[in-house]
Structure 1
Amino acid sequence: MTDPKKTYDVAILGWWYGKNYGSILTYYGLNRAIDSLGYSILMVHEPLGYNGYRVSWPDDILSMEFARRIGYEHTEQQHYSELPALNEVARTFVVGSDQLWNPLIGRVNDDLFLDFVGEQNDRVAYATSFGNRGTEKFKPAFVADHAANLQKFKAISVRERYAVDTARDVFGAKATMVVDPVFLLPKEHYGKLASASTVSPQGEYMAVFFLDPSPEKKAAALAVADKLGFKKIMVIPNPDGGRESVTALFADEPRAEILAEDAPENFLRIYRDSSYVITDSFHGSAFAAIFEKPFSSIYNAKRGADRFKDLLTALGFGESRRVRETDTAAEIASNPNVTREIDFTDARAYLERGRAASMEWLQAALDPENKDSAALDPSKISAAAAAVVQNFSLKNPEFTAMTSGWRISPGARGTRLRVARGGAVLGNLAWTDLPAAVKKGASYLLRIDWTPRTATPTVNLHLRNPDTGRFRVVGKVDIPAKSRSARTDTVIIRVPESGLSQFMLGAIHFTGLGAGADVRSIELTELAAGTAPAGLSSLGGAPAQGFAGQSKALALKDHERQMHSYNHSRTPQALSGARARMIFHAHAIEKGLSRSNFRAGFGKVAVPGLAKEMNAWLAAGHSVDDSFLQSSAAVMKSYFQRHDSLKSDVSPYRQLFSPAAQELIDNCTHQEGGVLPADQLREISREDVDERSFLNVMYGRRSVREFTRQPVADEDIARAVQIAMQAPSVCNRQGARVHQFEDPRTIKSVLDIQGGFAGYEMPPRLLLISADLDAFLFAPERNQPFVDGGLFMMSLLLGLTQVGLGSCSLNTAMGTEKESKIRKIIDIPEHEVFISFVAVGHYDDQVLVPRSKRTEIDEILIAHRKG
């Protein structure tokens, strides 16, 4: 907590309030390092109001309890509009570590670029990350918004070497590489903190810390314990929801003991007193090095394998401490590096040098007398950007396999890839990271020095996007029959899309006895514009005839129609477009008003958007009696009345509305806008409604987002699906499918990506309605999966209402990146297209739901009379 009258030397922004040990101890390291330099520190809690990814954090979570024990002085969560007042509270603002500048993370917003800091105060970044290597994710709008802010920084440091280039070439800013903040403190400091733990482990044991536990990782850990003779295993749960999973995973292992209480001090105590560590965590590996414990590290591809590689290389271990979750017990038993004997001489020297250099950098950056700037000279920015020509050379490239269908053996003379028995099937993929994504539309000379072993006459070469999982064939190599000799193959390729940063091989192309390849090197050389051979086209394009040709032509026609509609909807005479934009913003505000955990001041995007549309409507002289305008006014009247009742000042939002719009809002008597209890009818039916009649079901259906804990019965879901199966489909082909999920972790993982349920507790059940493309035979049926799927989905929503369950449809209007991530989690076949998710559960009939105004019938029903 803070004293409102106190001032501070330094204010730190970042994710110190996260529920994982990495974030907590990262910011602890930074806090204590700055404290050791003699500066007073204020920790700034996450501001609200930006978007749905910014939520109110409970006060009783792990990180906040730790903050109180340590004695952090910190702000309470507040609206981002209050951030400028901190300029009077602190002199220097430091944005900390983590991927705070990764545009792919929803929580990344303007505050993390210190946009609110005044010219009189200093801005510093310590070990901040742009995310994984590659620059395709930085869209022009993101760069335009944030480059100017980064160039206002006094000093910038980053934690990845490639981020130095990103800062310079994308944002025009100088950056220095420093060590992770956990390395700023010595072993003795963490040892003292560990002594404050609430646990006292006894005897010799091996520590296990898995962020993403799996049966394969458990098997690897047990194999290490077996080899090294450990009779006791201490398992540290991931405090961010991981206790249940590791408890179930290790329930049948008599040697395993689960750490009883989540706390950073307990985490450190288990590490400090252990005799060996195995982990899939970057910071778990870091603390093994800090405490100088013999360890094995499983590179966690979900959380960025590059980080592990960089860390262990810098520590002087290279690949020696790595084990793979696909390693068999025999492979681990024969691995000479799975040993209690480990030399920390190089690691100790690296940490001492890195700590000293990074502390020196930090001291200079925080010195108020230092007037340095992170901005590059404009001429140097353009020169640097112009000089970037890609030329990659990978010696003994390191491959990662998607499944156990590959066996990978790194060696001094190349990497041996072996296809396991029965593994030569679709979907068994192995890839290696390129230093950066290749450029969309550019041409490259791809040269591979290898010894392929296959009975297949042709091997396809692929490039892969690690974020989406999407890969494209970019070339092929003809292999002579029975050839197993060393060879160098050269292929000229043109990159068909952005984001491709991995070279990939598929096991399907490697058949026969001993199938696989020894890969010694891979080189990619960008060709100057115009030097690629004539006739080379971007690979992956559709043929000009047949089904694919028709499909492409139809898609282009659909695109033309869509763009025409988009442009027309923004003309002054297009009232339907203006109504649609008004109701889009008004409904977003209604959802905010309906939340039980109401967040005062919400609506950063929706309120200005609605103000703009209402002002434009009135300025154009359109009817003030229009129901969508009146409903929008009613929504804003509810919004302002709700804030008045809470004595929360939202006058800046009110000033966005023109005087005419303010008058309309103040005098509005329209009832169909705002929120209402879920048991009330949104609109009054003109018919007499019998109990559970069709009209009762239709008019009683609600989009419910808050559910009770009452279990959902499988038979109720099945009854609702049976009702939905009465929906019509083209030629009765019945292509609709329903996937049902009840595992809370799976539901959360999916909805975090989908993005439409932020701020609510997860639903008890989640359904995904899809349509099987195999049911649709002809190119003109390109839209039919969505027509049939939509009919089925509506019938299912009514079926759920009929059986007494609440539901909320959650759209699947998403790009390929999100869709690919979701497919990986829930294993939906590629030949099924997503129609909609549906959250399902029981609900309290007094819970608030958006009123969701429906338009008048004569806006929908257009009568075409004779003559």
Structure 2
Amino acid sequence: MKRVAICTLFHKNYNYGGILQGLALQNVLRDMGLDAYLVTYNDKINKNPIYTTLLSRCTQYSFIEIYCKIKEMLTATIHSEIKAKIKPRIELFDKFISNNFHVTDLYSDDSLSLLEKEFDVIISGSDQVWNPNAVRKLYLQDFSVSNGTKKIAYAASISRNRLSNKEAKIMIPCIEKFDAIGVREKTASNILDSFGIKDAKTVLDPTMLLSVDEWNNVVAPCVITEPYVLVYSFSDCPFKDSLSDFYIKRNMKVVFIPYAKQEYNSFDNNCDLIPMWNVGPAEFLSLIKYSEFVYTDSFHGSVFSILFNKQFAVYERDKSGTTSKNSRMYDLLSVFGLDSRMIRDDHKKVLENKVDFSNVNEILEKKRIESWTWLKNAVDSQ
């Protein structure tokens, strides 16, 4: 039985989408008869090979962005009670990982070359493993292999619409050495193509390789008895007040997951929607599955809305600048013919118009087969 290492953002990554995509890829590979493990790797102690210093990281942001971030960090020290409120949520994450994941011992940049002795295939992905802000040597597989160990990327996301010359100089030589490259967004394929990598295949996020029935085995029981709308956001929620009014008039609650990044932010601190605190990955799926509507700026918030056939709307996060991640949202919606779910001006029109999921589900099934087949061929090829 082939042993497969999955290199993705999962260790101490208390992000719903990040954890669930890791679980999905693990389970898909194990269903293929492979002995798959997620590599335990601490991003916080292993440096970004592109932006190695605080000063170099700051060059990506405008003065206003830096000022706002520093102000928020300072304000967060005043609100230490947030950590106490989030602690039960972190415990739910840890329990979920312990119960569902097959993981390796802890690796560091100094020990990455040992992976080839333990594994036949090393997969980078899914999620933002090639985002220049998050990339690490592990995700680029920037280490030599000599025993025929295969290097694969599956649904790796760059999360940008371009790479700077500085970023490309570090990343492209590593990516060129992969035996098979599957990226999550068409934008990423186009970026790689512009640097001479012509064979990158656009594939589905691994969460979409699992059926709804398979996800139902993970979903926690419904905890809200009345009809409700879920707001799942990582940025300030535009139209927040009118959104609440829109659904309250229809006798629905409007709930949200405060501090979805598991850290303080000012817009959640001032939000008057109904907070849902004790939400681990299984509870997150439950909130989406049993909702009447999902309002989000999250990639995986959109993905699970599609999987569970929930009415949903998407709004942009960090609309401009080199660090904007909206290209992944545009690509996802485009694949399923759902561009109209992106709120631009008339948000009430998007809320009122319903999605017909019959065509969406047909596209999903076709893309699921294509992506599963590509992955199977990539790990099986000699």
CA gap 1:126/1:332 in 2 versus in 1, 3 angstroms: closer
| From 278, 282, 289, the counterpart of 1:272 | 289
Note if contact 1:150-1:173 (Cα within 8 Å) is conserved in structure 2.
no
Letter in 2 for 1:349: E
> Shift of residue 123 of structure 1?
0.5
Q: How does 1:442-457 map to 2 (within 5 A)?
A: none
- Equivalent residue number for residue 208 of structure 1: 231
| From 176, 201, 204, the counterpart of 1:151 | 176
Q: How does 1:460-539 map to 2 (within 5 A)?
A: none
Indicate yes or no: 2:159 matched with 1:131.
yes
Q: Which has the higher strand share?
A: 1
| From 38, 46, 61, the counterpart of 1:43 | 38
Letter in 1 for 2:301: G
- Equivalent residue number for residue 25 of structure 2: 30
SS in 2 for 1:301: coil
CA gap 1:87/1:210 in 2 versus in 1, 3 angstroms: same
- Counterparts of 2:41 and 2:172, CA distance in 1: 22
Indicate yes or no: 2:196 matched with 1:183.
no
> Shift of residue 86 of structure 1?
1.9
Indicate yes or no: 2:10 matched with 1:16.
yes
Letter in 1 for 2:120: R
Note if contact 1:113-1:150 (Cα within 8 Å) is conserved in structure 2.
yes
> Shift of residue 134 of structure 1?
2.5
- Equivalent residue number for residue 122 of structure 2: 93
- Counterparts of 1:246 and 1:29, CA distance in 2: 31
> Shift of residue 363 of structure 1?
0.4
- Counterparts of 2:125 and 2:281, CA distance in 1: 19
- Equivalent residue number for residue 106 of structure 2: 77
Residues 631-651 of structure 1: per-residue CA shift (max 9 Å, x gap): xxxxxxxxxxxxxxxxxxxxx
SS in 2 for 1:93: strand
- Equivalent residue number for residue 114 of structure 1: 141
Letter in 2 for 1:90: F
> Shift of residue 63 of structure 1?
4.5
- Counterparts of 1:344 and 1:220, CA distance in 2: 26
Indicate yes or no: 2:284 matched with 1:225.
no
- Counterparts of 2:328 and 2:27, CA distance in 1: 24
Letter in 1 for 2:47: Y
Note if contact 2:231-2:295 (Cα within 8 Å) is conserved in structure 1.
yes
TM-score, reference length from structure 2: 0.79
CA gap 1:280/1:101 in 2 versus in 1, 3 angstroms: closer
> Shift of residue 95 of structure 1?
0.3
Q: Which has the higher helix share?
A: 2
- Equivalent residue number for residue 65 of structure 1: 95
> Shift of residue 202 of structure 1?
0.8
CA gap 1:130/1:276 in 2 versus in 1, 3 angstroms: closer
Letter in 2 for 1:26: Q
- Counterparts of 1:84 and 1:208, CA distance in 2: 43
Note if contact 2:159-2:326 (Cα within 8 Å) is conserved in structure 1.
no
CA gap 1:244/1:230 in 2 versus in 1, 3 angstroms: farther
SS in 2 for 1:269: helix
- Counterparts of 2:210 and 2:301, CA distance in 1: 16
TM-score, reference length from structure 1: 0.36
CA gap 1:143/1:353 in 2 versus in 1, 3 angstroms: same
- Equivalent residue number for residue 168 of structure 1: 193
> Shift of residue 190 of structure 1?
1.7
- Equivalent residue number for residue 304 of structure 2: 287
CA gap 1:217/1:69 in 2 versus in 1, 3 angstroms: farther
**Higher RCO (C-alpha under 8 Å, 6+ residues apart):** 2
Structure 2 unaligned residues grouped into runs of 5+: 55-86
CA gap 1:192/1:174 in 2 versus in 1, 3 angstroms: same
| From 327, 332, 352, the counterpart of 1:311 | 332
RMSD: 2.8
Q: How does 1:850-861 map to 2 (within 5 A)?
A: none
> Shift of residue 308 of structure 1?
2.1
Letter in 1 for 2:156: T
Letter in 2 for 1:202: T
- Equivalent residue number for residue 608 of structure 1: none
- Equivalent residue number for residue 342 of structure 2: 322
Instruction: Give the percent of matched residue pairs that are identical in Structure 1 and Structure 2.
Output: 26
- Counterparts of 1:292 and 1:318, CA distance in 2: 16
CA gap 1:242/1:350 in 2 versus in 1, 3 angstroms: farther
Letter in 2 for 1:304: K
- Counterparts of 1:53 and 1:33, CA distance in 2: 37
Structure 1 unaligned residues grouped into runs of 5+: 1-6, 372-867
- Equivalent residue number for residue 79 of structure 2: none
- Counterparts of 1:172 and 1:313, CA distance in 2: 23
> Shift of residue 68 of structure 1?
0.4
Letter in 2 for 1:293: K
Note if contact 1:239-1:262 (Cα within 8 Å) is conserved in structure 2.
no
Residues 329-380 of structure 1: per-residue CA shift (max 9 Å, x gap): xx555x2x4237431012111111111100000000111xx13xxxxxxxxx
Note if contact 2:235-2:297 (Cα within 8 Å) is conserved in structure 1.
yes
CA gap 1:162/1:202 in 2 versus in 1, 3 angstroms: same
> Shift of residue 11 of structure 1?
0.2
> Shift of residue 275 of structure 1?
1.4
CA gap 1:147/1:317 in 2 versus in 1, 3 angstroms: closer
- Counterparts of 1:238 and 1:53, CA distance in 2: 27
Q: How does 1:573-584 map to 2 (within 5 A)?
A: none
SS in 2 for 1:270: helix
- Equivalent residue number for residue 503 of structure 1: none
Q: How does 1:549-564 map to 2 (within 5 A)?
A: none
- Counterparts of 2:243 and 2:20, CA distance in 1: 25
Name the count of aligned residue pairs.
337
Note if contact 1:247-1:258 (Cα within 8 Å) is conserved in structure 2.
no
Indicate yes or no: 2:377 matched with 1:361.
no
- Counterparts of 1:339 and 1:143, CA distance in 2: 43
Residues 246-286 of structure 1: per-residue CA shift (max 9 Å, x gap): 764344xxxx4321302011111111111111112121112
CA gap 1:322/1:112 in 2 versus in 1, 3 angstroms: closer
> Shift of residue 207 of structure 1?
1.5
CA gap 1:190/1:213 in 2 versus in 1, 3 angstroms: farther
Indicate yes or no: 2:261 matched with 1:235.
no
CA gap 1:242/1:309 in 2 versus in 1, 3 angstroms: same
> Shift of residue 53 of structure 1?
8.2
Note if contact 2:233-2:260 (Cα within 8 Å) is conserved in structure 1.
no
SS in 2 for 1:278: strand
Note if contact 1:276-1:340 (Cα within 8 Å) is conserved in structure 2.
no
> Shift of residue 244 of structure 1?
7.1
- Counterparts of 1:259 and 1:76, CA distance in 2: 33
- Equivalent residue number for residue 65 of structure 2: none
SS in 1 for 2:338: coil
Note if contact 1:143-1:171 (Cα within 8 Å) is conserved in structure 2.
no
SS in 2 for 1:26: helix
- Counterparts of 1:100 and 1:267, CA distance in 2: 22
- Equivalent residue number for residue 351 of structure 2: 338
- Equivalent residue number for residue 296 of structure 1: 313
CA gap 1:341/1:169 in 2 versus in 1, 3 angstroms: closer
- Counterparts of 1:322 and 1:239, CA distance in 2: 21
Larger Rg: 1
SS in 2 for 1:194: coil
Letter in 2 for 1:160: E
Note if contact 1:117-1:123 (Cα within 8 Å) is conserved in structure 2.
no
CA gap 1:40/1:292 in 2 versus in 1, 3 angstroms: same
Letter in 1 for 2:159: G
SS in 2 for 1:206: strand
> Shift of residue 143 of structure 1?
4.3
Letter in 1 for 2:318: A
